[in-house]
Structure 1
Amino acid sequence: MNVRTYNPSVRVGNWNEDIQLEEDTLKDFLEKREKGELSSQKRSKLSQMLFKPVSLSISRDGCVHYGDVVVLQCLGAQDRTQYTNNGPRNTCNLAVTPQASNLLQLTKLEGTCDVSGSTSLEPNLRSSFVITGCEPYQAKGQKLCYGQDFFLCTMDGDGGNLYLQSDRATLEKSANRSRHQAVTFVPQPSALTKWRILYYDPRMRMENEGLPVPANSIVIISHMKTNHNLAVEENFVMRTPFGHREYEISANTYLDSHRAEKDVNRWMIMMGVPGDEIRPVVPDSQ
């Protein structure tokens, strides 16, 4: 017959140290919660900042200008019967995401950040960018033309003013899933952060060189140094630190049988149009 020599109220071993450790842990938890320093609180604050709505620039003449705030959008697959590994590709916006290792230390976008294709289409801090000139003569307000170089930057302030960059793929440095040329946002401009807009139809590309780029129209976004085009990797979906499943983005040119870029290389520079800034007046209820 087994006889219990003690019950749960009996203190054995280093009971005093265990109690003190529990009290210290609780005290530390309460202090961090009071200061908003818990990991869950930091993640929530950063998420609120990154998904904050942003108003796009209004294109009054139908063209894109240096200094405009825009969204880069790749339309979904035109032929919905052709399935990829992840089903038919949906429309997505280019979006920036802090790397997971830095996520909880950041209060704004900084350092090197990842890029993905978000299916959340509302303009926010993640998906809104500024067309920035590379040279002094490319002043704010001047029209961006086909073939001209430019920087694509995140917003100032919380956006960190980062630059879209790419470089040739190597064994040590490439996109995680597709292994194509990687695309990231970095703090400093360089020859690797210069891009240009090409006319979407290669048969008319030479004729349109030097003409203003129209807003809300299909274009090709080409990397100046490597000549590879910004692409949505429709067969490769990644999970962001926020729990969203988004498309991998790379710099890789996909050509069809006619030597024209496929729809994964086709982007629209989305801007507002006159009238977007006018909000309808809601009559008072009687």
Structure 2
Amino acid sequence: MDSALATVGLPIALAVIMFGLGLSLTVADFGRVARHPKAVTIALVCQLLLLPVIAFGLVKLFGLDPLLAVGMMLLAASPGGTTANLFSHLFHGDVALNVTLTAVNSVIAVVTLPVVTNFALAYFDPDDGATLGLQFSKVSQVFAIVLVPVALGVLVRRLRPGFAAAMDKPVRIGSAAVLALVIVGTVLAERESITDYLASVGLITLIFCVLSLSIGYFVPRRLGITSRQSIACSMEIGIHNSTLAITIAVSLLANVTVAVPAAVYGVLMFPVAAVFGWIITRRGTAASDDSADAPAVRQT
């Protein structure tokens, strides 16, 4: 796991993914927070406060190994992934809200992610915890691989919208290819431990995924948010940027065990989100009377 594929490939894959996110954003996406403050606030509270608390409770309940516990907390603190936009579109969610939440949460996570991770390291006190931790120098690396590519993508879209539109698909394909290469290399390197990893965190990550999606949908609905926006919140909160969590664990914390929960979650979240989306739309929860309240959907 100390190979160049992991230490160099993962940051490159993440940077390309975040640059692709930037190409899909405009300054207006950040300004939309002022027009829909309630939905954005509820989603961010669920993402930033409820999920770490739930992850902490599950970790205590399952009695996870300290390093795996830190990995679960790191996963819980990671922002939504860009794939949430696709799932939201497939299940009739408010894609524009997804774009806004991803943009805002990616910025906030630069602060909240190190806070949650360092808390977990201090609380669970793994054996090599003294050598781990996201100090300022490492936080600046998170900033570099998350915000700088996004900012560059936004700038390119603003200055060269035609180029940004043309590059959208190649960047997505390229990032997926690099990430797939890294994952395959990682799996081959860790093939003797994969069964143990799945046995250790398979169930807890599955439960956490279902809870994340459910909280993301039902809490906003209970608080009066439209069903289309609630679907967007659910996908944003349930589909994490597991690539970011894995990159921090492997490249910044230099510990493969901390990356395991995010890696397993990254495999489970897509089929679980698909089933969850099918269930809530099948039951007619995306009511047609929401359409008048929802902002225009912009596919990304």
Which TM-score applies when normalising by structure 1? 0.25
Higher percent of residues as strand: 1
Structure possessing the higher relative contact order (Cα contacts under 8 Å, 6 or more residues apart): 2
